[in-house]
């Protein structure tokens, strides 16, 4: 893994020589991999073992704040108790009713099930069972703790792992490089602006691929990004399945902070991106719904509360929405082609080698038999 300082030096060389980083070989992937529902289920299992952004930390800022929502089909409730944040599956241990209704609630002291009134503490303990002595011959509340999920607060978001079978240190591993670079980057995203979220009609991997490469910038995002970026120049460094991608911008060189000359993006495997600009961070998350539908989420996150109303940042958010709109229109077309072209392949050129790695990492977890071929 190269340091940001090394990346900076290599970037200057590339600029001087008008070169870019290239992969060794051209690879391809069968289109069937984007439609295969068995493989899709295995991919979901991989996704459930990795961090997914659930809710902005600000939404549960005070003790007693509760937020309930859904993530990859799983109902979840996040609560802030006296000590920390806890995240639980939002279903009652009695007969499965949703404990908290969707959205935010304030000043909660406990979670009370709307069905038969079982109540739980903000630590997930079962507190009371109406007519408990008639329900049970002896007191058995400890057997009915809420199912807790691993959670982690980072970049102004509460991240959650849905599966109980995830790697022990998965959060540390996923965010390790972001943590390491944070002093140099000097921007600490803490406060999320409202999320833009919608159901996009394309496979989630098609979306992830578009955010991993910059080859499309000069064409799909002309004239906007082509004025800002050096065509095809990005410097990707993987750390395990995750990746940091530095995209140098056309800015004056010199002893200025990293974000004065580049955009830095962290790919949190397998479907989230944190794009660092000089004044805010864009969180993009792609949550698979079906083989042809993806929940697309975009959340701008700013360092200070006062920045939530900063006009310059808001303009940049609007600008990014235009860029995202360009991507989404193209990706919808890609999906139509995928559906029509049953036996074809996608090609990953030497400019897109990172896509090959993404698929290899995904498939080594999801399936032993299916991976990109030379």
Binding site for Fe ion (CB under 5 A): 327
Structural tokens at position 237: 């460094």
Nearer to ligand FES, 113 or 243 (CB): 113
Binding mask 86-125 for ligand FES (x = CB under 6 A): ------x-xxxx---------------x-xxxx-------
Judged by beta carbon, residue 112 or residue 323, the one nearer Fe ion is: 323
Nearer to ligand FES by Cβ, of 145 and 216: the residue is: 145
95 binds, among ligand FES, Fe ion, none (CB under 5 to 8 A by kind): ligand FES
Contact (Cβ atoms closer than 8 angstroms) between residue 22 and residue 350: yes
Nearer to ligand FES, 92 or 275 (CB): 92
Q: 299 phi and psi, to 5 degrees?
A: -130, 115
Residues in binding contact with ligand FES, number by CB under 6 A: 10
Question: How far apart (Å, rounded) are the C-alpha atoms in residues 369 and 196?
Answer: 36
CB 85 within 8 A of CB 61: no
Work out whether 281 is an interface residue with ligand FES (CB under 6 A).
Answer: no
CA dist 163 and 154 (Å) reads 19
CB neighbours of residue 354 within 10 Å:
21
For Fe ion, give the closer residue by CB, 278 or 327: 327
Pick one of ligand FES, Fe ion, none as the site partner of residue 327 (Cβ within 5 to 8 A by kind): Fe ion
- With CA atoms as reference, report the closest residue to 269 among 93, 67, 43: 43
Alpha-carbon separation of residue 301 from 155, 201, 314 (angstroms) = 8, 26, 11
Are the C-beta atoms of 143 and 136 separated by less than 8 Å? no
256's contact among ligand FES, Fe ion, none, with CB below 5 to 8 A by partner kind, is none
Closest CB to Fe ion: residue number: 327
Residue numbers of the site for ligand FES (CB under 6 A)? 92, 94-97, 113, 115-118
């Amino acid at each position: 893994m190269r340091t940001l300082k090394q990346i900076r030096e290599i970037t200057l060389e590339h600029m001087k020589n008008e070169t870019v980083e290239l992969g060794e070989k051209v690879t391809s992937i069968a289109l069937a991999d984007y439609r295969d529902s068995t493989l899709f289920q295995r991919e979901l299992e991989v996704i459930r073992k990795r961090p997914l952004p659930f809710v902005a930390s600000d939404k549960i800022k005070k003790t007693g704040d509760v937020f309930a929502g859904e993530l990859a089909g799983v109902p979840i409730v996040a609560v802030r108790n006296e000590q920390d944040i806890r995240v639980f599956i939002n279903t009652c241990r009695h007969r499965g009713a949703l404990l908290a209704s969707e959205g935010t609630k304030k000043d909660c002291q406990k979670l009370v099930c709307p069905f038969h009134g079982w109540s739980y503490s903000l630590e997930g303990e079962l507190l009371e069972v109406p007519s408990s002595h008639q329900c049970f011959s002896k007191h058995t509340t400890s057997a009915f703790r809420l199912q807790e999920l691993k959670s982690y607060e980072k970049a102004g978001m509460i991240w959650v792992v849905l599966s109980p079978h995830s790697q022990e240190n998965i959060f540390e591993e996923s965010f390790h490089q972001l943590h390491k670079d944070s002093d140099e980057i000097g921007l600490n995203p803490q406060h999320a602006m409202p999320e833009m979220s919608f159901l996009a009609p394309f496979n989630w991997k098609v979306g992830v691929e578009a955010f991993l490469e910059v080859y499309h910038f000069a064409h799909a995002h002309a004239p906007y990004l082509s004025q800002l970026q050096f065509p095809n120049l990005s410097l990707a460094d993987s750390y395990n399945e995750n990746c940091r991608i530095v995209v140098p911008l056309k800015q004056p060189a010199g002893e200025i902070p990293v974000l004065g000359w580049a955009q830095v993006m962290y790919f949190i495997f397998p479907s989230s991106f944190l794009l660092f600009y000089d004044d805010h961070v864009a969180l993009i998350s792609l949550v698979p719904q079906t083989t042809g539908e993806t929940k697309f989420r975009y959340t701008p996150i700013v360092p200070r509360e006062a920045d939530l109303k900063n006009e310059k940042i808001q303009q940049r958010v609007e600008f990014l929405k235009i860029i995202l709109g360009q991507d989404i229109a193209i990706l919808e077309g890609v999906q139509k082609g995928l559906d029509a072209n049953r036996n074809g392949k996608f090609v990953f050129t030497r400019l897109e080698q990172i896509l090959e790695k993404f698929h290899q990492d995904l498939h080594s977890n999801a399936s032993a038999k299916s991976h990109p071929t030379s």
